[in-house]
Amino acid sequence: MTGSSPFLSAEGLVKSYGTTPALRGASVEVRSGEIVAVTGASGSGKSTLLHCLAGIVRPDEGSVTYDGRDLAGLDEERLSELRRTDFGIVFQFGQLVPELTALDNVALPLLLAGRPRAAARDEADAWLERFGVRGRRELRPGEMSGGQAQRVALARALVTGPKIVFADEPTGALDSLATEQVLTSLVHTARETHTAVVLVTHEAQVAAYADREVSLHDGGVRDACGSHGLLAVSGTVVAGGAAPAGVTR
């Protein structure tokens, strides 16, 4: 069961790249243990929203609050620490270290946190088993299939016991079978560990794995469907129904 109040929230996010606006007043909330799919057309600002939530990108306006803390008030060192401990991040192509084996890729965040090498490798081995890729533990990323490499990336994102995982199109480069395997592994593990997930996707079948779907349109966020029965548009929360006519992001 998800938490009753949000532990990650964004209010009125505005972000532009040069003269090109990506977000225009976007607001969203994520509760503990909740899986939220962020959908929208290409260029709608999905990845920018995720990067703002994860503290990778600072918005031009608006605020992101995590566990009662405004991310804008944290310096880069503290943000980096959050991404090592509380936040797990998975990208479309995994971004595994190509020179390292699957085992060492998953152990890496633990080693960076100061865990002894033997203990880090043992824990990484257990996570590879959990995601069904322990048999690939000595292979490097280029020696694995896309689906196998992405499950290794998920194991690396979760090995530190984060409270929330940000997944940016994690199945965008995979075929339908690998997509199902990766998403099933992610959702099962998130439920088991009570980890929240923010999942960016443009595919309806991927969004169907989430508790709630939040759609982006013209840089603004609206709750498209889900158990909460709320619609959030440009920072305003409205009970039920469709978006007001003419509302833009």
| Residues 1, 12 contacting (CB under 8 angstroms) | no
Query: Considering the domain boundaries, does residue 129 fall inside one?
Result: no
Exposed/middle/buried for residue 218 (C-beta within 10 Å: 0-12, 13-18, 19+): middle
* Separation between Cα atoms, residue 196 and residue 112, nearest integer Å: 23
pLDDT in tens, 182-193: 899 899 999 999
Q: What is the pLDDT of residues 194-207, one digit of tens each?
A: 999 999 998 899 99
Phi–psi pair at 208, nearest 5 degrees? -65, -15
d(CA 75, CA 18): 24
How many domains does the chain divide into? 1
How far, rounded to the nearest angstrom, does the alpha carbon of residue 128 sit from its chain's CA centroid?
20
Q: Residue 9 is part of a domain; what is its CATH number?
A: 3.40.50.300
Residue 47: domain span: 1-86+163-169+192-249
Q: Per-residue pLDDT averaged across 126-130, rounded?
A: 93
- The span from the CA of 25 to the CA of 220, in Å, is 6
Is there a domain that residue 29 lies in?
A: yes
The stretch 224-243 carries a mean pLDDT of 36
Residue 116 · residue 124 · CB < 8 Å: no
End-to-end alpha-carbon separation of the chain, Å?
A: 30
**Quick check: is 220 in a domain?**
yes
For residue 242, what pLDDT is reported?
33
Q: Give yes or no for residue 239 having a pLDDT over 50.
A: no
Return the closest-CA partner of residue 221 out of 242, 181, 249, 193: 249
Q: Is 137 a member of any domain?
A: no
| Pairing label, strands 6-17, 61-66 | antiparallel
Of 28-32, 70-74, 79-83, 102-106, where does the model show the most confidence? 102-106
| 80 in any annotated domain | yes
Is 62 part of any domain?
A: yes
Phi (first) and psi of residue 152, to 5 degrees: -65, -40
pLDDT of residue 104: 97
- Residue showing tokens 């498209």: 224
pTM confidence score? 0.83
Q: What is the pLDDT of residues 39-73, one digit of tens each?
A: 988 888 999 999 999 999 999 999 999 999 999 99
Which DSSP category does 211 fall into?
Answer: S
Rounded distance between C-alpha atoms, residue 46 and residue 36, angstroms: 12
In a domain, 28, yes or no: yes
CA distances from 55 to 1, 11, 129 (A): 26, 14, 30
Distance of CA 93 to the CA centre of its chain: 14
Query: Is 70 within the bounds of a domain?
Result: yes
